Structure 1
Amino acid sequence: MKKYLLALIISTTHTVSLAQHIEEISEESEESKFHVSVKGGAVFIPKGEEISSEKHFVSAFAFGLELEYFLNNKWAMAIVADKETKEYEIPVNGGKLERKNLMIVAALGAYRIKDNFLIFAGPGYEFEKHHNFFVLRVGLKYEIELENSFDLTPTFEFDFKEKYTSQFVGIAIGKKF
């Protein structure tokens, strides 16, 4: 009788544990996979020079759109498109290269390092009528969850380009689907 009682207790415990595991998987698969956000902020170009002055540090407003797909609760893929709104020059090979109305498109991989902190990195391309550059973007963001699957996300990004770098500090408003 003791053997049957012990077997019953063990199988019940195992069944409850299995049911909890299935419930966790079910809850994880019901989470939103897509995330769309718009962002705005300041981009800083340390090597940039304003065209109308001798100022050797340029800052500009930038805005963008981001579409993310979460593979699971840790990993995501994203496509981003950002636009800068200022005209400036960068020194290149003893001369100056004008940058006007440039747009960056990048494919990123993101990893959730802890709770709402995500790091991301990936290749992209900077499109501008005078010269295009390859871009490597790396960054960090923190998602602040709001009601109805909306979020507010402060973002810090570094863009490493062939001839210069830029940094972006901004905030995004997004929605999960």
Structure 2
Amino acid sequence: MKKIISTILFIFLLIQNSQAQETEIHAREEAHGKLKHHRIALIWGHGYVPKGISNPDNPQVLIIPTIGLDYEYFFSHRFAIGITNELELSNYIIETKEFNELEREYAYVGAIMAMFEVGHLFILGIGPGVEIEKNHNFFVGKISLEREFPIMGEGGWDVTPVLAYELKSSNGHGVYDALTFGIGIGKRF
């Protein structure tokens, strides 16, 4: 009798699980439409660099404007890989751990991101990258959280706020970090 009840309970749970998955897939298709594998987005943002100084004589909180172009390839509605590209539109100075000043001029930051939808339309990304700048290049560890807001219609357009944290290091030692907030306009195709 216990075996029969266990088998019935197991079958019931399998049916409930498959129905929940179908409901989740239907909810994603309503939000995204049918799966479109490619997404490109133009991002405008501002980065906060805690160790950055724009004027050594008058140190203040440093907020730098950025512009970016992202490309993502979706394997499913939940998993993607992406390439983020960002250009910092300012010059500034950072103070390293050795108390040396290092000038940063219009640095480019690029990263390859593994992306996962952690909640309905909330996407978490993490990956390695590089900051390229004429004075000194850095390795970058990047983590981001974005929330897509699809624009009505079947066009695949969305508006996406993005919050990203970057830890920039050289020779395995963290040198400085940045926190960036941006707004993107994206298109799935």
Whether these two folds match at TM > 0.5 is yes
Give the number of aligned pairs.
155
State the secondary structure of the residue aligned to 2:59. Answer: coil
Return the letter of the residue paired with 1:144: F
Instruction: Write the deviation string for residues 69-100 of structure 1: whole angstroms up to 9, x where unpaired.
Output: 00111110001110001111111212100001
| Aligned-partner Cα distance in 1 for 2:177–2:144 | 13
Map of 1:78 onto structure 2: 82
* Matching residue of 1:132: 137
- Cross-structure match for 1:158: 165
| Residue identity opposite 2:165 in structure 1 | F
- Counting only pairs closer than 5 Å after superposition, residues 31-46 of structure 1 correspond to structure 2 as 31-46=35-50
Matched residue type, 1:130: N
User: Which amino acid is the alignment partner of residue 160 of structure 2?
Assistant: T
Q: Which residue does the alignment assign to 1:173?
A: 185
Q: Of the two, which has the highest radius of gyration? A: 1
CA distance in 1, matches of 2:179, 2:53: 15
8 Å Cα contact 1:43/1:169 also seen in 2: yes
Alpha-carbon distance, 1:56 to partner: 4.1
Unaligned stretches of 5+ residues in structure 2 = 1-17, 170-174
Q: Map of 1:85-124 to 2, 5 A cutoff? A: 85-92=89-96, 93-124=98-129
CA distance in 2, matches of 1:169, 1:176: 22
Q: TM-score of the superposition, structure 2-length normalised? A: 0.77
Where 1:157 maps in the other structure, the secondary structure is: strand
Percent identity between the two aligned chains: 29
Which letter maps to 1:46? P
- Displacement over 6 Å in runs of 4+: none
CA contact (8 A) 1:44 1:166 kept: yes
CA RMSD of the aligned region, Å? 2.1
The offset of 1:167, in angstroms, is: 0.4
Distance 2:76 2:145 in 1: 19
